[in-house]
Amino acid sequence: MGETINAVILDADTLGPDDLDLNALFALPVNWSVYPQTSPEQVGERIADSQIVLTNKAPVNALSLSVAPGLKMISVLATGTDVIDLRASAERGVAVCNAVKYGTGSVVQHIWALILSLTTKLADYQRVAADGTWQKNFFFCLLGFPVEELQGKVLGIVGAGELGRAVSKVGEAFGMKVIYAALPGRHYPRYDQDDIRRVEFDEFLAVADIVSLHCPLTPETSNLIDQAELAAMKSSAILINAARGGLVNESALKHALVSGSIAGAGVDVLTREPPRDGNPLLDTRIPNLIVTPHCAWVARQSRQRLIDQTVENLRAFLQGEALPRAVYDS
């Protein structure tokens, strides 16, 4: 490409603190405009003169695309492309690519931090060690909070992709039995993955000691875990959601925890983020619940891989090569 290429980053703050190597990104032969954050109303104005757009959560819809006649490529700084109007992009010949598998290690360790914190009652024991309760105890240890071993328990995985399979490997290392959910209405080739045991969803919910969600949010999976599903789980079961908030009915989960219908939950995602108008799961009175602010993916190494993949995407585009991670390639 001989002409001047304008490129814009709409929400650079999503890349985190200044701990990444961005030299390769900014060495690309383009004119950069970098915005820490961009509201939906500002997107059109900021991409109007650009040929390349980088965004994580700033939405690029049909209206924004209509005022950017020179736009040729959108590189999403994430795996999910739900912030992009893919149909409008295709109609305008705008290539869309993303990043994949960059956060597996970070997300997996976060999921297991949630599981281990809940099963070992880590927060409870830390609290009584700090508030003087332990010092007043007659015996050398405190036994006030029941702890469960993972060995021999059933780990139920919803979603057999990269993350689900990586979480299952850790479970197997703990001596857990791993099963995968066969979701209603889905067809699974019998021998597609010979190391995966799929169980009908009703049975899956009834036998799993830990249910961990790793499926995308679609119209079919919205509120996948609702009041009926929570009631079908063991009273000793733990629910983990580091996928998408909309997979779980949050009011139903609150009720299940308060009533003791299930034993605990760890969530890293909510239906709306950030939850400016509140959320049922942010009630600090809910027992045995850990909520983290969508930070499972944020390890420095994870974010660096995201940048490295983005550079590969852009370099291929600038050199007229096939995009390595194309969602839609013009």
CA 128 to chain centre: 32
Q: Which of 87, 149, 273, 300 is catalytic?
A: 273
- Catalytic one of 110, 165, 244, 303: 244
Which residue shows structure tokens 């096939």? Answer: 322
What's 238-295 look like in SS3?
EEEECCCHHHECHHHHHHHHHHCCCCEEEECCCCCCCCCCCCHHHCCCCCCEEECCCC
Give the end-to-end CA distance of the chain in Å, rounded to a whole number. 16
**Cα(102)–Cα(306) distance, rounded to whole angstroms?**
6
Query: Can you read off the two tokens belonging to residue 143?
Result: 């036994």
Active-site annotation holds for 273: yes
What does the block give as tokens for 99?
A: 């990043």
Q: Is 244 noted as a catalytic residue in this protein?
A: yes
Specify the 3-state DSSP secondary structure of 191.
coil
Return d(Cα 11, Cα 57) in angstroms, integer.
7
Q: Kindly report the number of other CB atoms within 10 A of residue 226's CB atom.
A: 15
What is the C-alpha separation between 107 and 268, in angstroms, rounded? Answer: 10
Helix segments in the chain, DSSP class H: 23-26, 43-47, 62-66, 86-91, 104-120, 122-130, 162-173, 201-207, 227-232, 250-259, 300-318
Edge-to-edge, what's the strand order for the sheet holding 6-9? 31-34, 6-9, 52-55, 73-76, 95-97, 326-328
**Annotated active-site positions, please?**
244, 273, 294
